[in-house]
Chain A
Amino acid sequence: MTGALPPPKKKNPQLRQVVPTLPPQMRSRAALGLTAAAARGAFLLQHCAECGAVQYPPRDACSACLSVELDWRETSRDGRVIAETRIHASPDPYYRERLPWRTGLVQLTAGPTVLCHLHGDIGRGDAVRMDLKLDKAGQGVMIALPATRSADMADDGQLRALTAHPKHRRVLITDIRSPVTRPLIEGLFRAGAAQIFVGESESWRRGSDHAAIAALDRVSVLPLDVSDAASVSRLAAEIGGKTDILINTARHVRPGGVLGADTVFAREEFEINALGLMRLAQAFGPAMASRTADGVNSSVAFVNLLSVHALSADPHYGAFSASQAAALSISQTLRAEFRASGLRMINVFAGPTDDEWHQPLPPPKVPAAALARSVVEALCEGLEEVFCGDVARDLEARWRSDPKVLERELSGGGA
Chain B
Amino acid sequence: MKRQDYSGVVVTAPVSVPYVRYSRETAHWWIARALKQVLAAAGLKPRDLDGFSVSSFTLFPDTPVGLTQHLGLSPRWLDSIPMGGASGVVALRRAARAVQAGDVDVVACIAGDANRIDSFRQLLSSFSRFAMDASYPYGSGGPNASFALIADAYMAEYGVTREDFGRIAVAQRANALNYPNAIMTSPLTLEQYLAARPISEPFGLYDCVMPCAGAEGFLVMREDEAQARGLAFARISATIERHNAFPEDPVQLRGGWAVDVDELYEMAGCGPGDIDLLQTYDDYPVISMMQFEDLGFCAKGEGARFVRDHDLTIAGDFPHNTSGGQLSAGQAGAAGGYLGLVEAIRQVTGQAGPTQVTSARTAMVSGFGMINYDRGLCSSAAIITGDGR
A, B co-complexed:
yes
In A112-133, the 8 Å CB interface with B consists of 113-117, 124
Query: Is B125 a contact of A92 with CB atoms below 8 Å?
Result: yes
Once bound together, how far apart are the Cα atoms of A101 and B149, in whole Å?
Answer: 13
- Which chain B residues border A267 with CB–CB below 8 Å? none
Query: Is A90 a contact of B142 with CB atoms below 8 Å?
Result: yes
- Which chain B residues border A85 with CB–CB below 8 Å? 141, 145, 148-149, 152, 200-203
B121, B138, B200: the one contacting A86 at CB < 8 Å is B200
Q: Does A68 contact B (CB under 8 A)?
A: no
Once bound together, how far apart are the Cα atoms of A116 and B126, in whole Å?
Answer: 18
Query: Is A101 a contact of B153 with CB atoms below 8 Å?
Result: no
Query: Is B198 a contact of A88 with CB atoms below 8 Å?
Result: yes
Query: Is A91 a contact of B120 with CB atoms below 8 Å?
Result: yes
Once bound together, how far apart are the Cα atoms of A90 and B153, in whole Å?
Answer: 21
B128-139 vs A, CB cutoff 8 Å, 1 = contact: the mask equals: 011011111111
Q: Does A26 contact B (CB under 8 A)?
A: yes
Query: Is A26 a contact of B141 with CB atoms below 8 Å?
Result: no
Most buried by B among A27, A63, A83, A137: A83
Once bound together, how far apart are the Cα atoms of A56 and B374, in whole Å?
Answer: 11
Q: Does B237 contact A (CB under 8 A)?
A: no
- Which chain A residues border B153 with CB–CB below 8 Å? 82-83, 105, 124
Name the residue on B nearest A123 (C-beta): B152
Query: Is A104 a contact of B199 with CB atoms below 8 Å?
Result: no
Q: Does B197 contact A (CB under 8 A)?
A: yes
B126, B137, B142: the one contacting A135 at CB < 8 Å is B137
Query: Is B141 a contact of A89 with CB atoms below 8 Å?
Result: yes
- Which chain A residues border B141 with CB–CB below 8 Å? 85, 87, 89-90, 95, 101, 103
Name the residue on A nearest B126 (C-beta): A26
- Which chain A residues border B142 with CB–CB below 8 Å? 90-91
Name the residue on A nearest B197 (C-beta): A88
- Which chain A residues border B144 with CB–CB below 8 Å? 87, 89
- Which chain B residues border A30 with CB–CB below 8 Å? 133
Name the residue on B nearest A30 (C-beta): B133
Query: Is A31 a contact of B133 with CB atoms below 8 Å?
Result: yes
Most buried by B among A30, A89, A95, A116: A89
Query: Is A57 a contact of B133 with CB atoms below 8 Å?
Result: yes
Name the residue on A nearest B122 (C-beta): A91
Query: Is A103 a contact of B126 with CB atoms below 8 Å?
Result: no
Once bound together, how far apart are the Cα atoms of A90 and B150, in whole Å?
Answer: 18
Once bound together, how far apart are the Cα atoms of A27 and B135, in whole Å?
Answer: 11
In A157-206, the 8 Å CB interface with B consists of none
Q: Does A52 contact B (CB under 8 A)?
A: no
Once bound together, how far apart are the Cα atoms of A31 and B138, in whole Å?
Answer: 14
Query: Is A95 a contact of B247 with CB atoms below 8 Å?
Result: no
- Which chain B residues border A135 with CB–CB below 8 Å? 137
Query: Is B250 a contact of A95 with CB atoms below 8 Å?
Result: no
Query: Is B156 a contact of A89 with CB atoms below 8 Å?
Result: no
Decide yes or no: A139 and B201 within 8 Å by CB, A28-B129, A85-B149 being known contacts: no
B124, B150, B373, B374: the one contacting A91 at CB < 8 Å is B124
Q: Does A295 contact B (CB under 8 A)?
A: no
Q: Does B44 contact A (CB under 8 A)?
A: no
In B177-215, the 8 Å CB interface with A consists of 197-203
Query: Is A24 a contact of B140 with CB atoms below 8 Å?
Result: yes
B364-379 vs A, CB cutoff 8 Å, 1 = contact: the mask equals: 0000000001100000
CB distance from B120 to the nearest CB of A (A): 6
B138, B146, B152, B200: the one contacting A89 at CB < 8 Å is B200
Q: Does A94 contact B (CB under 8 A)?
A: yes
Decide yes or no: A57 and B137 within 8 Å by CB, A85-B148, A105-B250 being known contacts: no
Once bound together, how far apart are the Cα atoms of A173 and B137, in whole Å?
Answer: 34
Query: Is B125 a contact of A82 with CB atoms below 8 Å?
Result: no
A56, A58, A91: the one contacting B140 at CB < 8 Å is A91
Q: Bin chain B's interface residue count.
A: 35 or more
Query: Is A105 a contact of B374 with CB atoms below 8 Å?
Result: yes
Once bound together, how far apart are the Cα atoms of A13 and B334, in whole Å?
Answer: 49
B288-329 vs A, CB cutoff 8 Å, 1 = contact: the mask equals: 000000000000000000000000000000000000000000
CB distance from B138 to the nearest CB of A (A): 5
- Which chain B residues border A101 with CB–CB below 8 Å? 139, 141
Q: Does A71 contact B (CB under 8 A)?
A: no
Q: Does A294 contact B (CB under 8 A)?
A: no
Query: Is A57 a contact of B140 with CB atoms below 8 Å?
Result: no
- Which chain A residues border B130 with CB–CB below 8 Å? 57
Decide yes or no: A26 and B125 within 8 Å by CB, A86-B201, A101-B139, A103-B145 being known contacts: yes
Q: Does A84 contact B (CB under 8 A)?
A: yes
Most buried by A among B132, B140, B156, B374: B140
Q: Does B251 contact A (CB under 8 A)?
A: yes
- Which chain A residues border B120 with CB–CB below 8 Å? 91
Query: Is A115 a contact of B138 with CB atoms below 8 Å?
Result: yes
Query: Is B137 a contact of A124 with CB atoms below 8 Å?
Result: no
A25, A26, A57, A84: the one contacting B149 at CB < 8 Å is A84
CB distance from B126 to the nearest CB of A (A): 7
- Which chain B residues border A87 with CB–CB below 8 Å? 139-141, 144-145, 148, 199-200
Once bound together, how far apart are the Cα atoms of A57 and B136, in whole Å?
Answer: 12
Decide yes or no: A115 and B140 within 8 Å by CB, A87-B145, A91-B121 being known contacts: no
Query: Is A23 a contact of B149 with CB atoms below 8 Å?
Result: no
Once bound together, how far apart are the Cα atoms of A25 and B125, in whole Å?
Answer: 10
B125, B247, B251, B373: the one contacting A24 at CB < 8 Å is B125
In A16-64, the 8 Å CB interface with B consists of 23-28, 30-31, 56-58, 63
Once bound together, how far apart are the Cα atoms of A11 and B120, in whole Å?
Answer: 36
Q: Does A141 contact B (CB under 8 A)?
A: yes
A139-154 vs B, CB cutoff 8 Å, 1 = contact: the mask equals: 1011000000000000
- Which chain B residues border A88 with CB–CB below 8 Å? 197-201
- Which chain A residues border B373 with CB–CB below 8 Å? 57, 115
Name the residue on B nearest A56 (C-beta): B134
Once bound together, how far apart are the Cα atoms of A91 and B141, in whole Å?
Answer: 7
CB distance from B91 to the nearest CB of A (A): 28
Once bound together, how far apart are the Cα atoms of A92 and B123, in whole Å?
Answer: 12
Once bound together, how far apart are the Cα atoms of A347 and B30, in whole Å?
Answer: 54
In B63-94, the 8 Å CB interface with A consists of none
Once bound together, how far apart are the Cα atoms of A94 and B145, in whole Å?
Answer: 16
Once bound together, how far apart are the Cα atoms of A117 and B136, in whole Å?
Answer: 11
Query: Is B247 a contact of A107 with CB atoms below 8 Å?
Result: no
Query: Is A82 a contact of B145 with CB atoms below 8 Å?
Result: no
Once bound together, how far apart are the Cα atoms of A84 and B126, in whole Å?
Answer: 23
Query: Is A113 a contact of B250 with CB atoms below 8 Å?
Result: yes
- Which chain B residues border A92 with CB–CB below 8 Å? 121, 125, 136, 140
- Which chain A residues border B156 with CB–CB below 8 Å? 83, 124
Decide yes or no: A63 and B247 within 8 Å by CB, A57-B130, A124-B152 being known contacts: yes
- Which chain B residues border A31 with CB–CB below 8 Å? 132-134
26 A–B contact pairs at CB < 8 A?
Answer: A24-B132, A24-B137, A31-B134, A56-B134, A57-B133, A57-B373, A83-B150, A85-B141, A85-B203, A86-B198, A87-B139, A87-B141, A89-B199, A89-B200, A91-B121, A92-B125, A101-B141, A103-B138, A103-B139, A105-B251, A113-B250, A115-B149, A115-B374, A124-B153, A124-B156, A137-B137
Q: List residues of chain A with CB under 8 Å of any chain B CB.
A: 23-28, 30-31, 56-58, 63, 82-92, 94-95, 100-105, 107, 113-117, 124, 135, 137, 139, 141-142
List the 9 closest A-B pairs by CB distance, nearest first. A92-B140, A57-B134, A91-B121, A31-B133, A85-B148, A87-B141, A83-B153, A101-B139, A83-B149
